[in-house]
Structures are given as C-alpha cells and as structure tokens.
Structure 1
Amino acid sequence: MHTTSAPRRLTGIDAARGVALFGMMSTHILPLYTPGTTEATWTALLFSGRASGLFAVVAGIGLALLTGGRAPHRDRALSADRTGIVVRAVIIALIGLVLGGVETNIAIILFHYGVLFLLALPFTGLRVRALAAWAAGWLLVAPVAAYLLRPIASESADPPTLGGNPLFEHFLVPQTLAADIFLTGYYPVLQWLGFILVGMVIGRLDLARLGVQLGVLVAGMVAAVGAKLLSAQLLGPGGGLVALLETPDGSRYPLEAMLDVGLAGVDQSGSWWWLAVSAPHSGSTLDLVHVAGSAAAVVAVCLLLTRRFPQALLPLSAPGAMTLTLYSLHICVMSWADQLLPLPDPMQLFWLQVVAAVAIGILFQRVRSRGPLELLASGAANAAREGRAEARH
C-alpha cells in the first residue's frame, strides 16, 4: 500500500491515497440514500465505487514504482521485486482475514488486495505500451467474461457467495471462496484487476513532468465523463433501462435509484444490457472505465497541487502514507461504534475519525516513522526481496 520513490512524486500519490481512504470511510459511515427516500446523497454521488477504485488504481501505481517506474526492472532485480510483492500480498491478505473476524457490516477490501497483487505479478516486467494494451483489453473483456462465468460459478458453488467478509474458515469451502473473490463478491477481482493495470500504466509514466500530469488529468476526465454519457445514451434512448426493469432483480429493486449508488448484491443476469450500466460496483466496462478515469484525474490533480509545494496536501498525504494501519483502525472503530446505544451521530463520527487520522499521520511523519502495519508489510517484503537478490548472486 506504500512504496518508496522520489518524495515529490510520492507526496501527490500519497495524497490521492488519502482521498481514497477518507472517501471509503465516508461511504462506511454516512448514509448513501437520503433518509426516507431513494435519492442518493452527495456521499454516494461522490465516493460510492470511486473511492475503493481509486485505492486500487493507486496500488497499481505503487507496484509500477516498486518495480522500476519508467524503466521496469529485469531479470534478477525483477525476480527479487516479485518475491517482495508476494510477501507483501500475503501479509495484507492475512490482515484482511483477521479483520474479517471483526463484527462489522463493512465490506473489507484487504484480502482482495492481496489476491490482486498476486495476479499482477506477470505484468510487473512490462513497459508502458504493453501495459496499456493489457489494461484496455482487460477493461473490455473481463466484464463480459464475468457475465458469462457468474452463472457457472453460482451453479458449481453452494452457496455461490460467502455472505460476508473472507475468513480463515472459508478455506474449507474453496469453491465458494473462489467464486466470491473472483466473481460474485463485493470486489470481484476478475474485473478489479483492470484498476491495478490502469494504475501500473500511470506508474510507468514520468509523473514528475508537468505535461504528463496534465495528460493524465485530461485523459482521466475524458474517460470518466465519456463512460457516463455513453451509458446514459444506451440506457435511455437505446432502451437498455426498459429491458433491465424486466429482469428478475431489475423489477425487484428500485433500479433507477440504485444506478447512482451501487448494484452490489443485484443479480446482473438475464440481459446483456447489464453491461451497458455505469453504476458503482456493477463491474461493467463503463463502470470500470468511469472509475479508472476518475481515479486518474484525482491522482493528476494531487500531483499538480504538490508539484511546487510537496506539503501542500499534508492533511491528505500524511494519512495517505499509512493507509494500511489507518484503514484497519477504522474497521475496528466502526465495529465498536456500531454496538453503541444510541448510535453515534454519523457526521460527528466521520469527522472525528478524519481528524484523528490526519493527526496520527502527521505525528508519524514528524517522527520520521511509518505506521506499524506498514513497517510489518514493508519490512518483511524488503527482507524477502533482499534475500532473493543475495541468493541470486
């Protein structure tokens, strides 16, 4: 979740990671629908699907920087990098499994993160053009593959989903675990690998150059807006929404309202028109392109704002440098808060956690230390990497 490179570049990347952290926290704490209505709140409109997607895109940037940035490592160096990534992925996944045992209704992303890191290994030696081709192809093909494979996975796995966060005990039902992680769960990694690949493309660019930063901003905005406009055209004048309202889950849920908030839990089968939506957590091509474009734009803005003054976004970059620790702490705090009677005011709970995260992040930066979970993951990964490098000599 955190890498080391040129401080000026990482300040902006850390700030983008901070945006993702606080965006995810907001969707966990604040209501996504206006109470008593099916109208999406500003929290949902701004962050639903986008915050977690930004998290994944920035992770891809980190992987690219970790493996050489503009000039990807080769041979022994790349082999050592991959060893370190494997160790990092396993530790992050294990932390996710531990947090899965915490009583919470939050869909925890860390186990999926670990799996995504492992799936990204074959791509870590590619240069930017090859990565861009893979990313574009993945965004186009993976949603179609998921649409075709979900019914097969649902028939072969009983039950077809875990019904909650992954736990150690779920390894006893490997078919269900695999179906949930790759296809039927909240963060299906088959489609989400596209976010990692997009991030790796960005990380292979010369992010210190003003022209590159502006190019990423423009490309991200065009992709994000274009995906939404195309989806609106397909669902409206194209007749897609009418067809979806006739499917089993399309007729059961307030689909038009959910298109703004998210389709997690909706059975997207019975019509190819599901691939025309751009709703959060729908996993369609247009959703992936929109979220990836939004993430690219956020990263570019953060890089531009920290270009001359690396500490300009300190309230974002400081906590963004230790998101593994702060995200895990947030999960534990929410588990505790959800058991209080009466329940805390959501807005107060959100801002208390934001202020605490900023304060903790700045404190650790001032003492020139990393978060405890970052130290664990990076320390183990670096030790494995260095051990592999020495063994090859």
Structure 2
Amino acid sequence: MRLDGLDIARFLAFVGMVLVNFRIAAEVTGVGDLPSTIIDLLEGRAAALFVVLAGIGLGLSRAGMALVSRRAVFLIVLGMINVTIFEADILHYYGTYFLCVLPLLTAPARALWTAAVAVALIAYAGLIFGNYDAGWDWDALVYADFWTVTGYLRHTFYNGWHPVLPWLSFLMIGMALSRLDLGSPAIRLRIALYGALACIAGLIPAALTADPDLTDLLSTAPIPPTPFYILSATGSACVVIAACLWAGPALMRSRLTRTLSLAGRQSLTLYLAHILIGMGTMDTLGLLNGSLSNAAVLWISLSFCAACLIYAHLWQYVAKRGPLEALMRKLAG
C-alpha cells in the first residue's frame, strides 16, 4: 500500500529546499524580517526531511544491493553534472549515502539507530579536532579544490554542503522509521511526540550557554552540522512526516490537494527543474546578484512551486512517472 502522506511530505520538503536554494543562488542574506525568518527556519530542515524521506523510501522499497548501487551511481553522475550549475547540489551526496548503507539494507531498526548515532558522533569528533574550514571561502561560498581528489573526498565526506558525516545519519534514521508500521495511528502519534521532544531537546544546549567559543559546537544550524542539529532536524522531520501521514488520506479526497502527492512523486524531476528552470530564469532576468529582498525570494519561490503543482497535475495525463524518474528506472532499474 502506497502511503500518500510520504509523497506530500516530499513535496513540502521540496518547497522548503526551493526557498533556501533560491535565496542562496540570489545571494540574499537574512535580515530578521518575517520572510527571512521563515527561510532561516527551513535552512537545513527541509533538506534533512528530504533525506529522512529517502531513507524511508529506501527501506520500504526492499530493493537489493545491485539495484540500489545502480541508482546510486545514476544519482552521483547526475549530481556531478548539476554541481557545475549549482554547487550546493544534493544529488551526488544522495548517491554516496546509498552506497554507504548497502551493508545495512536489511539491518533491523536498532542497528540503524545505533549506526546513525555513531555517524553523528564521529562527525562531531571531526568537527572538534579537524579543520572544518579547509577548502572553503565562506564569504563567496566557494569550495576551492572541489575538483581534486582530496578536495572532492573532503567536501563529500567531511565539510561540504551535505557531507556524509553526519548527514548519513538522516538516511539511516529514515530506514529505521521504515521498519515501523507507518499505517498505524499509534505509531504515527509516537513519531510525532518523540519528534517534537527531539526537536526541542536539540535546541537546549545552545540556549543554555552564552560562551561564543561554544556556539558552533552546540548549534542547530546545518553548517557546521553538530549532533544537536541532527537531533533537532530529525525531530522536525518526524513531526512533518507524522502530520502528513495523518492528513494524507483526507487530502487525497480532494483533487486540488491530491496534486501535492503527484508532485511529491516527481521530487527528482522537480529538484532539477528548480535549478535549471527556476534559477535559470532568475539568472536571465538578472535576479541572482543580491538585489532581491527576502520577501521577493519568498514569493518567487512559492510561485515556482505553484507552477510545479500545475505541471504535476497535467503530467499525470501524460505518463505515470516524471521524466527523470522514468529515466532512472530505464537506466538503473
């Protein structure tokens, strides 16, 4: 049985990523107003939700190592092409996450939770004892040696936009959640309650200290990603997933809201579209130069997402799968 709530959650994650990525591409910084605050709250959270959902999907698919490997390679290749356009691409990370969890595809939930915690702690040790700034020009958000072997590995596994350490934890947590009976109201309630507690718990350490030297080590910001960020972002992801699972059946009864699910099933296609079409159009119009306000970024992003819903509604009459989803199925299985 397909859980339409998960597709709805995927689209919501996509909307959040559009808001965040459009602001990054437009070189706009937060200024404390309401639109800025909304986008700030989504930074790192929308992408984390996306990865947790990928883990749930991977777990529910029960795909074997060969199939997962082929799809991982497809995503890495597609992502590396995309990096030449948008450096904060997440697809090549996705593919790498999939390769890393191959030995855990059939692991029980407890093993996955344990592995997720271990990955987060290993990453934290790297943050404390390593040079997290290596390769970065933080002012320009440019990674100097990405296209070298050393730079690529460092960026992918240690200090890139969504490094394996610790972002792999999100995928493992999603896989662990897939081991639950997500159709059960009681399970959904537990996911929501534990998620809310985790979200709040992750915020507490930073709130209890005024020492600026500890700020980065206790932060729930996505860069640098601390265990407190992993905890809090996992919590918010769980709350959204539980809410969508609860609301899914009701939303599917309406033709309008059913489109949310249709769009969520094309998350790969829409992700590339928001870069190639969305950012491409903004670039053509000369809007990627820091001239926009956060309010403008918000409305442009929401308008683009509305256009995506219209597209998804119309595409259902053309094909069962989105263009890139169909291509991946054809090339990788």
The interval holding the TM-score normalised by the smaller chain is 0.7 to 0.9
Residue in 2 aligned with 1:33?
Answer: 30
Equivalent-residue separation in structure 2 for 1:374 and 1:40 (angstroms)? 32
Contact 2:122 2:165 survives alignment (8 Å): no
Contact 1:17 1:320 survives alignment (8 Å): yes
**How far is the alpha carbon of 1:119 from its aligned partner?**
0.8
Residue in 2 aligned with 1:302?
Answer: 244
Contact 1:88 1:381 survives alignment (8 Å): yes
Name which one, 1 or 2, has greater alpha-carbon Rg.
Answer: 1
Equivalent-residue separation in structure 1 for 2:274 and 2:178 (angstroms)? 28
Equivalent-residue separation in structure 2 for 1:319 and 1:164 (angstroms)? 32
Equivalent-residue separation in structure 1 for 2:129 and 2:158 (angstroms)? 10
Amino acid at match of 2:315: F
**How far is the alpha carbon of 1:165 from its aligned partner?**
10
Residue in 2 aligned with 1:145?
Answer: 126
Equivalent-residue separation in structure 1 for 2:20 and 2:144 (angstroms)? 17
- Unpaired runs of 5+ residues, structure 2, are none
Flag the 1:135–1:124 CA change in 2: closer, same or farther, 3 A: same
Q: How does 1:19-58 map to 2 (within 5 A)?
A: 19-30=12-23, 31-34=28-31, 41-58=36-53
Matched, 1:131 2:126: no
Equivalent-residue separation in structure 2 for 1:166 and 1:359 (angstroms)? 40
Contact 1:107 1:165 survives alignment (8 Å): no
Equivalent-residue separation in structure 1 for 2:314 and 2:47 (angstroms)? 25
Flag the 1:336–1:57 CA change in 2: closer, same or farther, 3 A: same
Contact 1:32 1:40 survives alignment (8 Å): no
Q: Return the TM-score normalized by structure 1.
A: 0.74
Amino acid at match of 2:142: G
Contact 1:15 1:302 survives alignment (8 Å): yes
Equivalent-residue separation in structure 1 for 2:144 and 2:157 (angstroms)? 13
**How far is the alpha carbon of 1:348 from its aligned partner?**
4.3
Equivalent-residue separation in structure 2 for 1:84 and 1:364 (angstroms)? 26
Equivalent-residue separation in structure 2 for 1:300 and 1:330 (angstroms)? 26
Equivalent-residue separation in structure 2 for 1:93 and 1:287 (angstroms)? 25
SS in 1 for 2:316: helix
Deviation digits for residues 330-376 of structure 1 (CA, Å, limit 9, x no counterpart): 10120331232467853442233111111122223344511111011
Equivalent-residue separation in structure 2 for 1:150 and 1:83 (angstroms)? 36
Of residues 52-61 and 128-137 in structure 1, the stretch that sits farther from structure 2 once superposed is: 128-137
Flag the 1:224–1:100 CA change in 2: closer, same or farther, 3 A: same
Residue in 2 aligned with 1:253?
Answer: none
Q: How does 1:157-176 map to 2 (within 5 A)?
A: 159=135, 163-164=142-143, 170=147, 173-176=148-151
Equivalent-residue separation in structure 1 for 2:276 and 2:287 (angstroms)? 18
Matched, 1:117 2:98: yes
Deviation digits for residues 274-296 of structure 1 (CA, Å, limit 9, x no counterpart): 32222233210001111111111
Deviation digits for residues 39-76 of structure 1 (CA, Å, limit 9, x no counterpart): 98233333111011111111111111112xxxxxxxxx
Of residues 362-371 and 91-100 in structure 1, the stretch that sits farther from structure 2 once superposed is: 362-371
Residue in 1 aligned with 2:187?
Answer: 212
SS in 2 for 1:338: helix
Deviation digits for residues 196-217 of structure 1 (CA, Å, limit 9, x no counterpart): 1111111111111111111111
Q: Return the TM-score normalized by structure 2.
A: 0.86
Match of 2:258 among 287, 300, 314: 314
Identity of aligned residues (%): 29
Equivalent-residue separation in structure 1 for 2:131 and 2:281 (angstroms)? 35
Contact 2:136 2:143 survives alignment (8 Å): no
Match of 1:378 among 311, 324, 329: 329
Equivalent-residue separation in structure 1 for 2:151 and 2:298 (angstroms)? 37
Matched, 1:339 2:284: yes
Flag the 1:342–1:20 CA change in 2: closer, same or farther, 3 A: closer
Residue in 2 aligned with 1:95?
Answer: 78
Q: CA RMSD in A?
A: 2.7
Matched, 1:13 2:6: yes
Contact 2:156 2:163 survives alignment (8 Å): yes
Contact 2:120 2:165 survives alignment (8 Å): no
Equivalent-residue separation in structure 1 for 2:179 and 2:266 (angstroms)? 23
Flag the 1:166–1:377 CA change in 2: closer, same or farther, 3 A: farther
Number of corresponding residues:
317
Q: How does 1:187-206 map to 2 (within 5 A)?
A: 187-206=162-181
**How far is the alpha carbon of 1:38 from its aligned partner?**
9.2
Flag the 1:140–1:341 CA change in 2: closer, same or farther, 3 A: closer
Flag the 1:42–1:196 CA change in 2: closer, same or farther, 3 A: same
